[in-house]
């Protein structure tokens, strides 16, 4: 199913949360909406689900205007941060519940529940109470319950945030596999950029009520459209220094910490602090009065003078990327 958002707007009182969100999400796409806390990600997802009404704009699903349809007429599956499973029921009954509510026959319920249990790898815990299984298993049960209805598209609001870091990595891989098998259109909200960049076919960065950039993960990292995105994406923000330092006629140039060669070169910076990540070191330095971070394979200490060269960079004008 394609999901088309056209100029969606939403305010709460005088607070404008969405200020013209537009994008077409393709059939079978894993589309991730990324943004800091409070930017309106959940609001946007609730509007897509039909739980919340937009003040303006329209939503089309496979070309059909669903803007005024209630959730139950959209055939949409939602998985939230808190899974809201029924605690007194077994895993099997939790998954079967939405089908029972729709009056699906017993035989079909059994077939469909067993099929999604297999898909999610939870066949062996079907008769346990949901309070007696782990957080990771609960998360899978919630997903199973959402997909058992064969929805047209899936809305997921930080569904992995209750899991610890290691479990989250495993669950991400599983989610991606499930999405591929279902060939479903997944619209996924997170504030965790690692999650976004590893799951998404495309990432939409929500900022100031709009999608500031919609790109493939690699492009988002390498060619951020604005300075805001450049500083938001990455373990370290992109470095910015005046263009004239490199003889460029633009306001600023931006470069990632790894877009440098360290040890020799025409520039020198002094090390203020060092952060070790894996077997690399990130040197937080002062360069011509500007704070920059550069990645080094060699050891340096606070106070060292380091020679370096900027080997790759982007040009920015008025806060936006300027390619020419």
Note the residues at the interface with ligand ATP (CB under 6 A). Answer: 12, 17, 35, 37-43, 191
Q: Indicate the residue among 44 and 146 with the shorter CB distance to ligand ATP.
A: 44
- Continuous segment of H or E residues that includes residue 77: strand 76-79
Contact between 48 and 188 under an 8 Å Cβ cutoff? The reply is no
Q: Indicate the residue among 129 and 191 with the shorter CB distance to ligand ATP.
A: 191
Strands 153-157 and 260-277: unpaired
Least distance to ligand ATP, CB of residue 182, Å: 25
Least distance to ligand ATP, CB of residue 195, Å: 12
Q: Indicate the residue among 176 and 191 with the shorter CB distance to ligand ATP.
A: 191
Label residue 209 exposed, middle or buried (CB < 10 Å: 0-12, 13-18, 19+). buried
Structure tokens at 255: 């470069």
Least distance to ligand ATP, CB of residue 204, Å: 12
Structure tokens at 210: 């709009």
Least distance to ligand ATP, CB of residue 10, Å: 8
Give the CA count within 13 Å in the CB-facing half-sphere of 104.
18
Q: Indicate the residue among 35 and 254 with the shorter CB distance to ligand ATP.
A: 35
Q: Indicate the residue among 38 and 173 with the shorter CB distance to ligand ATP.
A: 38
Least distance to ligand ATP, CB of residue 317, Å: 29
Least distance to ligand ATP, CB of residue 231, Å: 18
Q: Indicate the residue among 172 and 207 with the shorter CB distance to ligand ATP.
A: 207
DSSP string, 258-287: TSEEEEEEEEEEEEEEEEEETTEEEEEEEE
Query: From CA 185, how far away is CA 26, in angstroms rounded?
Result: 7
- Continuous segment of H or E residues that includes residue 220: helix 217-222
Least distance to ligand ATP, CB of residue 188, Å: 12
Dihedral angle computed from the Cα positions of residues 213, 215, 220 and 226, in that order, rounded to the nearest 10 degrees: -20
Q: Indicate the residue among 51 and 167 with the shorter CB distance to ligand ATP.
A: 51
- The total number of residues shown for the chain amounts to 324
Q: Is 9 helix (H, G, I), strand (E, B) or coil?
A: strand
């Amino acid at each position: 199913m394609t999901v088309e958002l056209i100029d969606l707007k939403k305010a709460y009182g005088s607070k404008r949360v969405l200020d013209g969100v537009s994008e077409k999400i393709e059939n079978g796409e894993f589309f991730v909406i990324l943004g800091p806390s409070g930017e309106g990600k959940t609001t946007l997802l609730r509007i897509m689900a039909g739980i919340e009404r937009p003040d303006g704009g329209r939503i089309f699903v496979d070309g059909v205007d669903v803007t005024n349809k209630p959730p139950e007429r959209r055939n949409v599956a939602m998985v939230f941060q808190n899974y809201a499973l029924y605690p007194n029921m077994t895993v099997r009954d939790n998954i079967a519940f939405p089908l029972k509510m729709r009056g699906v026959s017993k035989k079909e319920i059994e077939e469909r529940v067993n099929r999604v249990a297999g898909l999610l790898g939870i066949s062996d815990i079907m008769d346990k109470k949901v309070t007696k299984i782990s957080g990771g298993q609960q998360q899978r049960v919630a997903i199973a319950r959402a997909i058992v209805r064969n929805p047209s598209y899936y809305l997921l609001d930080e569904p992995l945030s209750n899991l610890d870091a290691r479990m989250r990595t495993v669950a991400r891989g599983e989610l991606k596999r499930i999405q591929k098998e279902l060939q479903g259109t997944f619209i996924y909200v997170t504030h965790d950029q690692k999650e976004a960049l590893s799951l998404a076919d495309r990432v939409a960065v929500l900022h100031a009520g709009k999608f500031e950039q919609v790109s493939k993960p690699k492009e988002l990292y390498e060619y951020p459209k604005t300075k805001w995105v450049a500083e938001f994406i990455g373990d370290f923000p992109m470095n910015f220094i005046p263009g004239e330092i490199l003889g460029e006629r633009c306001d600023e140039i931006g470069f990632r910490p790894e877009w440098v060669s360290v040890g020799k070169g025409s520039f020198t910076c002094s090390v203020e602090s060092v952060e070790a990540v894996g077997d690399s070191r990130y040197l937080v330095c002062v360069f011509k009065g500007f704070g920059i971070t550069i990645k080094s394979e060699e050891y340096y200490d606070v106070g060292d003078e380091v020679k370096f060269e900027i080997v790759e960079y982007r040009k920015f004008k008025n806060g936006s990327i300027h390619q020419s």
